[in-house]
Amino acid sequence: MDQRHELSATTSAAVTLTKPLHCIVKLGGAAITCKNELETINEENLNIVSSQLREAMIVGPCHGMDWSRRPGSSEIPTVVDDFDDQLESDSKKFIVVHGAGSFGHFQASKSGVHKGGLSKPLVKSGFVATRISVTSLNLEIVRALAKEGIPSIGLSPFSCGWSTCERNIAVADTLTVVKAIDAGFVPVLHGDAVLDSSQGCTILSGDVIIRHLAEELRPDYVVFLTDVFGVYDRPPTEPGATLLREIAVREDGSWSVLKPELEDMSRPVEITVAAHDTTGGMVTKISEAAMIAKLGIDVYIVKAATDHSARALQGLLKENIPDDWLGTVIRLAK
Amino acid sequence: MDQRHELSATTSAAVTLTKPLHCIVKLGGAAITCKNELETINEENLNIVSSQLREAMIVGPCHGMDWSRRPGSSEIPTVVDDFDDQLESDSKKFIVVHGAGSFGHFQASKSGVHKGGLSKPLVKSGFVATRISVTSLNLEIVRALAKEGIPSIGLSPFSCGWSTCERNIAVADTLTVVKAIDAGFVPVLHGDAVLDSSQGCTILSGDVIIRHLAEELRPDYVVFLTDVFGVYDRPPTEPGATLLREIAVREDGSWSVLKPELEDMSRPVEITVAAHDTTGGMVTKISEAAMIAKLGIDVYIVKAATDHSARALQGLLKENIPDDWLGTVIRLAK
């Protein structure tokens, strides 16, 4: 962990935003795709998430920014003509990062891209196939956000020149991200297949990207949108699973549950990892979230497309967490 | 021109390829899209072009690398299982750059992205809409090439951090392109909306990208695939239009037609610019091609998906241009 910290600190140029970054949002793969159907978007959730994001970001009028035809549709999109050049909306600075869900995982696990070995034809093909799948999803998410009026700009980590060494971030210059934000756009990054200087290639997960961006750009808070209400003490499908409302992270990286008070504090909290998840699932998520919280940045893990996610995105949980808010907040221990 | 040269020379880090670059190919927007139908790909041409590119690049077996579902289709792509890890194909280093055709131009010209002014809501929306359209096309081209067995990797200039100043390239680091090539991939770039430090934003055309890449990476030759047989002395639809077979470029950038011998050499060669082409059409193409030829790199302008394009892509025209080859070669004057 410390080594990873050091690597990212030494390889990134100091880049500062003109206006501070308000929030980094993770759109979890499980929340925006149908996890058990190959390359299928959860349209309903994605539309609600896009609308909640727009409400959290933009005060004032906005216009649809997706003026493209749908593949296979002959319908030409309507472009409104009532742009008022005098009236600029006030907007908060956001970055969106999304996972892969039912995109990318099949291609990555079939070929073993995360294990490296680009000289093998199967791995090289899988690298190409994985990038096609995750960039397809990225384009769909950029379109959904743009349709809602969010000035979204797709940024692939591979294209941004990001790479790893021993599967940890080695080069991840945030200059392009910062320039896009300063120009008034909302960068949309994603978990991606990238080059790795030790093993040839690997998968860089959305969660690791978020931790890196949080370290470099220090947002006010970070929101992880997922398909369950938050972090549980055991798989949420099991009877008696308890939602962990508040987790405190100490300077040494260890963490403990503040709320609710668990009956048996000595019992380790169980975590679930989906079999086809090549990037670590909940283990990675909590570990990356804890590293963000250690920086003094509050992290909210919350169910997407609910009233709870809307409140988290709008930053309504900064001081006290209301009793009727369902989700997990991870904070630096006081 | 000189200023542009200087700018690109001072801002790019020295980057060298492990193996020399064989060829840069431009897939002209008019050749791979249906120019008069909004956002419609010329599937037939794109498939032939992909096949010709594979034959020019790869000797030996190769596998389909697009393992993704088509949007709206329930068909799951077949992934072959006969990968032989011992058998690596021999392949030549290529870069593909494509234009926009019926993608992007509508969005760019409606909003005036090329004229800048990102603080205007219309321009900002148009910037987002243009990038959605051109990255949709990029994804389709990457998929067509991957399906054919070419290890294609989409690289958006914006995401690579490329930007302009007074509409000329200011920052265009080729490191990511070089790393992708060295790792065995074929980068696929495209004309894109980018940030401009003087006017806020503009359109960076595929032709300008090719000239920059040729300067930095010195390929053996450059091929422009288009929808006509080459450069004509007047619009090719006019009666009596003559195909210019060979154009010689002098050190000062001026050029003259060597073949055929024109009756009236004093008559200026006419050039056509489509009304909706925001990036300059044939004027830019010839001017950029001349700048490449000045470096001593042969440029072939040829009709896509013909026997003539196949021969140009395979590098069969290095010494003598056969009489039965239809196209335009632009070379440094001897």
CB contact under 8 A, A158 and B160: no
| Residues 175-194 in A contacting B (C-alpha not used; CB under 8 Å) | 175-176, 179-180, 183-185
A106 Cβ under 8 Å from any chain B Cβ: yes
Nearest to A154 among B71, B122, B135 (CB): B135
d(Cα B287, Cα B206) in Å, to the nearest integer? 13
More confident residue, B122 or B88: B122
B110 reaches A (C-beta below 8 A): yes
Q: Give the pLDDT of residue A254.
A: 81
> Cβ–Cβ of B146/A160 closer than 8 Å?
no
**What are the extents of the domains in chain B?**
2-11+18-58+90-229+291-326
User: DSSP labels for B191-258?
Assistant: -EEEEETTTEEEEE-HHHHHHHHHHHH--SEEEEEESSSS-BSS-TTSTT--B--EEEE-TTS-EEEE
Rounded (10°) angle between helices A121-147 and A43-57: 60
What pLDDT shows up at residue B5?
38
* Cβ pair A213, A206 in contact under 8 A: no
Residues of B in contact with A103 (CB under 8 A): 68
| Domain A2-59+91-227+296-324: top CATH class | alpha beta
> What's the burial of B16, exposed, middle or buried (CB within 10 Å: 0-12/13-18/19+)?
exposed
The rounded distance, in Å, linking the Cα atoms of B282 and A136 is: 32
Q: Is residue A243 classed exposed, middle or buried when 0-12, 13-18 and 19+ CB atoms within 10 A define those classes?
A: middle
User: CA of A163, closest CA in chain B: separation in Å?
Assistant: 10
- CB contacts, 8 Å: A136 with chain B: 68, 71, 139
B158 in A contact zone (CB under 8 Å): yes
Q: Average pLDDT for consecutive 10-residue bins of chain A (334 residues)?
A: 38 71 96 92 97 94 89 74 66 96 93 95 96 98 97 98 96 96 97 98 96 97 95 84 91 86 57 40 73 95 97 92 95 91
Taking the Cβ of residue A121 and every Cβ of chain B, the question of whether any pair is shorter than 8 Å is answered with yes
Measured between CA atoms, how close is A286 to chain B, in angstroms?
29
Contact B36, B110 (CB under 8 A): no
Q: Is the pLDDT of residue B89 over 80?
A: no
CB contact under 8 A, B183 and A161: no
- The alpha carbon of residue A175 is apart from the nearest alpha carbon of chain B, in Å, by 8
Strands (E) across chain B are located at 23-27, 58-59, 90-91, 94-98, 152-154, 163-165, 168-171, 186-190, 192-196, 200-204, 221-226, 246-249, 255-259, 298-303, 328-332
B203-244: pLDDT as tens digits? 999 999 999 999 999 999 999 999 999 988 888 888 888 899
Average pLDDT on B7-29 reads 75
Q: Say whether B151 and A69 touch across the interface (CB within 8 A).
A: no
Residues 6+ apart with CB under 8 A from A51: A148
Q: Does B198 touch chain A (CB under 8 A)?
A: no
pLDDT at A278: 44
pLDDT given for residue B184 in this prediction: 96
Supply angle C-alpha A183, A187, A189, rounded to 5.
Answer: 155
Cα(B36)–Cα(A224) distance, integer angstroms: 44
Contact B161 A156 (CB under 8 A): no
**What confidence tier does B63 reach under pLDDT thresholds 50, 70, 90?**
confident
Question: For residue A207, which of A264, A297, A292, A146 has the smallest C-alpha distance?
Answer: A292
Residue type, A31: A
How many residues are given for chain A?
A: 334
What's the rounded Cα separation, in Å, for the pair B213 and B201?
A: 21
The residue assigned the tokens 């390829």 is B17
Q: Write the CB contacts of A238 (distance below 8 Å, at least 6 apart in sequence).
A: none
Burial tier of B18 (Cβ tally within 10 Å: 0-12, 13-18, 19+): exposed
pLDDT at A24: 98
The CATH architecture assigned to B2-11+18-58+90-229+291-326 reads: 3-Layer(aba) Sandwich (3.40)
3-state secondary structure A255-317: EEEEECCCCCCCCCCCCCCCCCCCCCHHHHHHHHHHHHHCCCCEEEEEECCCHHHHHHHCCCC
Which of residues B142 and A82 earns the better pLDDT score? B142
pLDDT at A26: 97
**Subunit contact B128:A185, Cβ cutoff 8 A:** yes
| CA dist., res. B271 & res. B328, Å (int) | 14
pLDDT at A8: 40
Position A282 scores a pLDDT of 61
Query: What are the structure tokens assigned to A288, written together?
Result: 């990356």
Contact A183 B195 (CB under 8 A): yes
Cβ distance of B120 and A85 shorter than 8 Å: yes
Minimal CA separation from B200 to chain A, in Å: 8
Q: How many CB pairs under 8 A join A and B?
A: 190
CB of B135 within 8 Å of a chain A CB? The answer is yes
Find residues 59-98 of chain B whose CB sits inside 8 Å of chain A.
Answer: 63-72, 76, 79, 83-85, 87-89
Nearest CA in chain B to A187: B159
DSSP β-ladder status, A221-226 and A23-27:
parallel
Task: Please indicate whether, in this complex, the C-beta atoms of B107 and A68 are within 8 angstroms of each other.
Answer: yes
Contact check, Cβ <8 Å, A38/B76: yes
Q: What is the pLDDT of residue A252?
A: 84
Q: With contact defined as beta carbons under 8 Å apart, do B241 and B324 qualify? A: no
pLDDT of residue B319: 80
- The answer to whether the CB of A103 falls within 8 A of the CB of A134 is yes
A1 vs B111: which has the higher pLDDT: B111
Chain centroid offset of residue A17 CA: 20
Measured between CB atoms, does B120 come within 8 Å of chain A? yes
Distance from C-alpha of B269 to C-alpha of B232, rounded to nearest angstrom:
8
Angle between the B206-217 and B175-182 helix axes, to the nearest 10 degrees?
70
Phi then psi dihedrals of residue A160, to 5 deg? -75, 0
Q: Lowest-pLDDT range, A277-291, B3-17, B20-34, B129-143?
A: B3-17
Q: Say if A158 is an interface residue toward chain B (CB within 8 Å).
A: yes
- Spatial distance between the Cα atoms of B235 and B271, rounded to a whole number of angstroms: 6
Per-residue confidence (pLDDT) for residue B271, from 0 to 100 = 41
Q: Say what the pLDDT of residue B12 is.
A: 45
Helix (H, G, I), strand (E, B) or coil at B106: helix
